[in-house]
Chains A and B, each alone.
Chain A
Amino acid sequence: MSADPHADRILAEVAGMLAEIVGEELLIAAEITPDSGFDDDLALESIEFVALAGRLQERYGDRVDFIAFLADLEIEEIMAMTVGRLVEHIAACTRAEAVGGAGR
């Protein structure tokens, strides 16, 4: 993913939000990579993931349809997700819009 500046920017934003949500007790933003699992590596509580999704919704608005994204996943799938998968989803939604909004 490092060859993709658009996704890198989103990764940095997601990492920054996670640090704000979880606080300094655990996270150093630099340690969050696309391969980090929300559950396995970051030990994120489910309510903390909710807070992340809420911030991302505020940040990206209707460009990223988190409702549809989450409605299609079981909670186990959501928590087993990697940061990279979430970033890819946001990047795909926002990139489609950037080139003319042909998506969805």
Chain B
Amino acid sequence: MSEVHANGLRFHVQRLSPPADRPILRTPVVFLHGLVLDNLSSFYYTLAAPVARAGAEVVLYDQRGHGRTERPRDGYDPGSSVADLVALLDACGVATPVHLVGNSFGGLIALRVARSRPDLVASLVLIEGQCLDVAADTEPYAGGWVEEMANTLNLAALGLAAHPGPERLPAGPARKAARLRAGADALLNGTTLIEDVTLPCAPTEAELAEVTCPVLALYGELSELAPSARRLAEVLPQCTLTVLPGVAHTVLREATAPVLAALLDWLPRHEPVAVRPGAGR
């Protein structure tokens, strides 16, 4: 069942189940990917299979407008993304709290779910998750990640509009780049995504203080989000921050092994307590 209808949209969902002979982790793990060029494949090829093999039920989906999920014209704001997730979990029959693993913008959505629907969340794992809008000292402008993201997305949108791609997709190796380009163009120039994700976006410190579940925060030493992450760890009631040396925002891709190790260490330590092994399911 790779197509799931939820919140009025057709979502591309992939679920991986643990092998029958493994100790079962009772809390499902749900992965939330990042914006525009990202989709569930970045988790599918890195963390998802090892997590399933370690004993957890895994749910991955392409968020609205991304990957193989439908691309409506609007509804890309974090609130709608939370509504998508809640509806999707319901449609998938997931009835227990889950671990939410969010990469980049997926981390922002995860934080929002933890605040607005704490009953659904056992823990958060933020991989370079966008959070507090703290400006880095090294940047040449006053804004934090919200301004930088808005600039990047608007610049990309202008570039894509100014240089239209071929009418028909080419065959062979050029096809992949052309498809990627067409997808980004449709999302940035054909939907309300840019205004939706940049206008209302960053949570305040007071809002983050309401996130009561345990949070594992994994950030790159060289990321522009590093100052946000340090402040996040001070503001969140239960936060474990790990800074990965030598990498920037692309932690998931470039530091896959340490991220996976941290996740596999985290999950069994954040299971619901007082359950005999094998008593569930």
1/0 per residue, CB under 8 A from A, across B8-23: the answer is: 0000101010011000
A50 to B46, CA, bound (A): 12
Closest A residue by C-beta to B17: A67
B193 within 8 A of partner (CB): no
Contacts of A70 in B (CB 8 A): 44-45, 49
Do A71 and B176 contact each other (CB < 8 Å), given the known contacts A47-B68, A51-B68?
A: no
Contacts of A62 in B (CB 8 A): 20
| Size class of the A contact interface (CB-based, 8 Å) | 20 to 34
Do A47 and B45 contact each other (CB < 8 Å), given the known contacts A26-B175, A54-B14?
A: no
B45 pairs with A75, CB closer than 8 A: yes
- Point out the residue from A25, A51, A75 that lies within 8 Å of B2, measured CB to CB: A51
A25 pairs with B67, CB closer than 8 A: no
Task: Give min CB distance, A71 to chain B, whole Å.
Answer: 4
Closest B residue by C-beta to A55: B2
Closest B residue by C-beta to A48: B68
Contacts of B1 in A (CB 8 A): 58
- Residues of chain A at the chain B interface (Cβ within 8 Å): 25-26, 40, 43-47, 49-51, 53-55, 58, 62, 65, 67-68, 70-71, 74-75, 78
- Residues of chain B at the chain A interface (Cβ within 8 Å): 1-2, 12, 14, 16, 19-20, 39-41, 44-46, 49-50, 52-53, 62, 67-68, 168-169, 171-176, 179-180
